[in-house]
Amino acid sequence: MISLTHLTKSFAGHDAVSDVSFSVPEGAFLVLLGPSGCGKSTMLRMLAGLDQPTSGQIHYGETLVADGQTSFSLPPANRNAGLVFQSYALWPHMTVAGNIEWPLKVAGLAKEVCRNRIHDAMQMLGISALANRYPGEISGGQQQRVALARMIAPRPKVMLFDEPLSNLDATLRVEMRFELLKLHASTGATAVYVTHDQVEAMTMATHVAVMNNGRVEQFGPPEELLEKPASAFVAGFVGTPAANLIPISEGKWLGKIADPGLGGQTGQAMVRAEQISIVDDAGDNTVDVTLAEVVPMAGRYLITGLIDGIRITAISDRRVHATETLRFRLPSAPAAIFDKQGHRIS
């Protein structure tokens, strides 16, 4: 349904988005995932028609909506796409019903059609009782639902979300993730969702594009990113907790532990937290670490230690204390090896 071909957006000679190409089918839930400044919001703005690509093309199905080479850009109103902003962007002087009606009036729909669309959208989001209230009279979670209702009332084929849950508290974010998935399933639209929260990405997406410095490091289903990260960046960014990246130099982990399987390689070894155990006695593949933090999680503990300034996290049933000498045992072989440029080689 959405296809990007060599998409690039430059500002003052700097590529905010650089040579991005991928496609997702109709009805997909695509998440653009990455840290601040990686280009994900710029890509969303190009999909919405708010920014013009410097080069490359965007297609919605068979329809060309943007072409950087020819400077063609289909106006946002003609793309059959809806956008929810991070700030909700509700009109404070309009009621909830008035906010939802606004894009329908702009589209010139008949009054009866508008009434039906407003009713259906409010029913779907569970906000019918708020119809005559103003944005300043309702909570942040309710405002988010109003923004979603306004977006779906015109029944777009593409739904665009720019970090819509970042202003909500943790409990409400979990609730709204469920609501968004229900909304996506009930509308059948293709969704594009921008976030830096990899938990949101892993729980909501059918497809994930992990972005870094304007480029897509890896594109695929969430399970593939977790099981087979294509780069050191993806390995260290995705997962709860993310994989440990341990320096290797001339076949030695941390400059101490020799591993013939590394073949003299220099780069980084990926070690999952569940591959590391906490032991009392020194032995093969053991290293002493300085305790950094202990985080309870689902009846277990994420235990992070420092080794020569490098953070390494293990998962354990055992809680440790600051006064203990902490010793990690690394696995006999890493889960993956990345070269000095961060590319996966094994």
Tell me how far apart the alpha carbons of residues 54 and 77 are, in angstroms, rounded to a whole number: 21
- DSSP SS3 for 122: helix
Give Cα separations from 305 to 74, 89, 300, 314 (angstroms).
52, 43, 16, 8
pLDDT of residue 253: 74
The answer to whether 319 and 277 are in contact (CB under 8 A) is no
Q: How many structural domains compose the chain?
A: 2
pLDDT of residue 168: 79
pLDDT of residue 111: 93
Same domain, 260 and 227: no
Give Cα separations from 196 to 4, 5, 35, 39, 310 (angstroms).
21, 24, 5, 11, 23
Same domain, 166 and 251: no
Tell me how far apart the alpha carbons of residues 203 and 196 are, in angstroms, rounded to a whole number: 13
The answer to whether 44 and 31 are in contact (CB under 8 A) is no
- DSSP SS3 for 123: helix
For residue 63, being part of any structural domain is answered with yes
Report the chain (346 residues): mean pLDDT per 10 consecutive residues. Answer: 97 94 97 95 96 97 96 94 87 95 92 94 92 94 90 94 85 86 92 93 95 97 95 94 89 67 79 93 87 90 91 91 81 88 89
**Burial (0-12, 13-18, 19+ Cβ within 10 Å), 64:** middle
For residue 247, give its domain range.
242-338
pLDDT of residue 283: 84
For residue 186, being part of any structural domain is answered with yes
Same domain, 253 and 222: no
The answer to whether 106 and 76 are in contact (CB under 8 A) is no
Last residue of a domain, one of 189, 206, 233: 233
pLDDT of residue 321: 79
The answer to whether 72 and 57 are in contact (CB under 8 A) is no
pLDDT of residue 242: 92
pLDDT of residue 118: 95
pLDDT of residue 272: 95
CATH at 333: 2.40.50.140
pLDDT of residue 202: 92
- DSSP SS3 for 65: strand
Place of tokens 């890493």: 334
The answer to whether 246 and 314 are in contact (CB under 8 A) is no
